Amino acid sequence: MGKVRLVGLWRHLGKVVGLRPRGFESRTFRRVYLMMELDVVRFISMNWALITGASSGIGRELALLAAADGYGVVLVAIREGKLQELAKEIDDKFEVKTHIETIDLAAMNSADVLFDSLAHEGIVVDVLVNNAGFGLSGNYIETDAKRERQMIDLNISALTRLTRLFLLGMLSRQHGYIMQVASVAGFFPGAFMTVYYATKAYVLNYAEGLARELKGTGVHVCALCPGVTKTEFFDVAQADGLRKSFKGGSTAHEVAQFGWDAMKRKKVVAVHGFRNRLFIFLSRFVSRAFARSRVADINK
C-alpha cells in the first residue's frame, strides 16, 4: 500500500492543542506531526499475518515465526491474558507491530466481527493462518452435543468464513498465503473421535480444492497436517486413549516451523513427521475396514 496522507490532521491537531494558525508552520509542530504520520503509515502499510488460536501451542509458535519474518501479527484467541503475554514477547524480540483480538470464533458471526474490526483499524492481512480448533473424544452418542456443535462451528464454519472474507482482498492484490491447520486425522475415519476426524477431513479437502481453484492467482493455500503434538489438545479433547497410544510426539515449535516453511514454499499438503507420512502412504494398501479398526484401537 502506498503512503497514506492524513488529510486535515495537521490543522486538526493544531486546534486540539490550541495553536494559532502560525503555529502550524512551526518546526517543532511539523516534527511532531510527521512522526505521528510516519507511525500511522508504518502501521497501515505493514504486511500483516493473522493467526487464530494464537494463545498457545502451534498457533503461538506460528505467531513468533511470522514476527521473525517481519510480519505485523494479529493475535486472535479467547484468552486475553495469554495474548498479552505473547504480544509483549514479540514486542521485546522483534521490530514489528502486534494487534490483539479477543474473540470466540465459535460464536455466531464472529468471523465477520473480526474482519470488520481489522478493516476499521486499517489492517490488511497478507497471511491468514486458520489454526483455532479443538477435539472431542468419546463414544459419539455420549459426547456433549453442545460442545460438538461448538467444535463444528470453530473447526469448519469459522475457518471457512474467515477464508472467504480475507481471500477477496488477497485476490485483488494478487498476493497472499492461507494456512489451514488440518491434521493427520483428516486422512482417516476416527471412531471415538468421530466428529473431530470428520472436521479435519473437511479442512484438508477444502484446502486442497481451494488451492487448485486459486492456481495462478498469486494466492497460495497450504494444509498443515500435524500428527501427535505436545500441546493442550489432549487435555481439551480428553483424549486419554490417544495420548497413551502415542508417547512423546513433536513439539509445537517443530510443527510450526515445518508448516511455515512449507507454506512459504507454496506446498499444498504438508504432513509433519516421517512416521505420519509413512502411515498415510501405507494406508493406501490396506482395506478401509482395517484402517477403521486400527484407528479405533488407537483412540479408544
The partner residues of 100 in beta bridges, in order of sequence, read: 75
- In three-state secondary structure terms, 269 is strand
The residues, ordered by sequence, that sit 6+ positions from 47 with a Cβ below 8 Å of its Cβ are 70, 71, 72, 126, 127
C-alpha cell at 272: 509433519
CA–CA separation, 121 and 99 (whole Å): 10
Question: What one-character DSSP code corresponds to residue 106?
Answer: T
Q: Pick the catalytic residue: 196, 197, 202, 206?
A: 196
DSSP 115-169: HHHHHHHTPPEEEEEE-------S-GGGS-HHHHHHHHIIIIIIHHHHHHHHHHH
DSSP 13-41: HHHHTT--GGGGG-HHHHHHHHHHHHHHH
> What is the end-to-end Cα distance of the chain in Å, rounded?
52
200 given a catalytic annotation = yes
CA–CA separation, 160 and 131 (whole Å): 12
Q: Pick the catalytic residue: 177, 200, 202, 206?
A: 200
Q: Which residues are catalytic?
A: 196, 200
